[in-house]
Amino acid sequence: MRSANRSANSNGVGPMIEPITGSTIESMVEPIMDAIRAMYVGADPAHDFSHIMRVFRNAKVIGEEEGADMQVLLLAALLHDAFAEPKNPNSPDSSESGSTDSRSARRRLVDDLLEKMEISAEKREKVLYAVEVHRFSRGIVPKTPEARILQDADRLDAMGAIGIARVFMTGGTLGRALCSPEDPFCRAREPDDGLWNLDHFYRKLLKLEAGMHTVTARRLAERRAAVLRRYLQDLEEEIGD
């Protein structure tokens, strides 16, 4: 997606962000792509800008079928990890670490960006709400259609072939071992994905299909869940148990 042309703002400092004037997806997001991309510089590999764009595409597919407010939904998809800190060894499942002041400051930056785009206060709050509640680790069932779809879109990216790749990218970042040598498939113990990569399948990934909110996401999740299960079956044949 190419970046829109911008001119300097009135005080000559930085680019002017143009308001949304068109009805197409492209006209909505092009003016902010550079600003959005900058928010994810330094993100951990599983939550980088490519992840953002995959969630954006998932949200677009689901939202169009489910009749969402696409402006709210797609802005939330682009911004959904903007409050997050990079993963760290003390926070294996979440990027929620960091001080309250730091998160509040990033939230204000996102709100300012939306205000510069002339997004109404009501819609800004809907975008921010969806971003705030989307994470699996928070355990929140969203109240708005757009927030529910964002959760579905984000969780789809944790499933299937890409989900498997992301598990092991994160595991490498955190220095986790592949699996427990005594019980790699969590048959007689509770999963601990702070220690073992494979445990993340049992702690989170295999639970995602049942938690999808929308008909469209449930259909997409069924195929991706089958990929996860097949991988575990193949892995068990290769490493034994």
Residue 167 has pLDDT above 70, yes or no: yes
Q: What is the mean pLDDT of residues 154-183?
A: 95
Residue 183 has pLDDT above 60, yes or no: yes
When pLDDT is cut at 50, 70 and 90, the band that residue 118 belongs to is confident
Residue 182 has pLDDT above 90, yes or no: yes
Residue-level pLDDT at 85: 61
Residue ranges covered by each domain of the chain? 25-239
Q: What is the mean pLDDT of residues 29-37?
A: 83
Tokens of 68: 């969402």
What is the dotted CATH code of the domain comprising 25-239? 1.10.3210.50
Q: What is the mean pLDDT of residues 125-148?
A: 88
Helix/strand number for the chain, H first, E second: 10, 0
> Which 3 state secondary structure label does DSSP give 163?
helix
Q: Any residues with CB less than 8 A from the CB of 179 and at least 6 apart, and which?
A: 185, 196, 197, 198, 199, 239
Percent pLDDT > 90 in the chain is: 57
Task: Give this prediction's pTM.
Answer: 0.81
How would you class 132 by CB atoms within 10 Å of its CB: exposed for 0-12, middle for 13-18, buried for 19 or more? Answer: middle
Residue-level pLDDT at 2: 37
Residue bearing the bigger pLDDT, 99 or 214: 214
Q: How many CA atoms lie within 13 A of 165 on its CB side?
A: 10
Residue-level pLDDT at 83: 77
Tokens of 102: 């730091």
Residue 73 has pLDDT above 80, yes or no: yes
Residue-level pLDDT at 5: 36
Residue-level pLDDT at 224: 98
Residue 177 has pLDDT above 60, yes or no: yes
Q: What's the whole-number average pLDDT of the chain?
A: 83
To which residue do tokens 């994470």 refer? 135
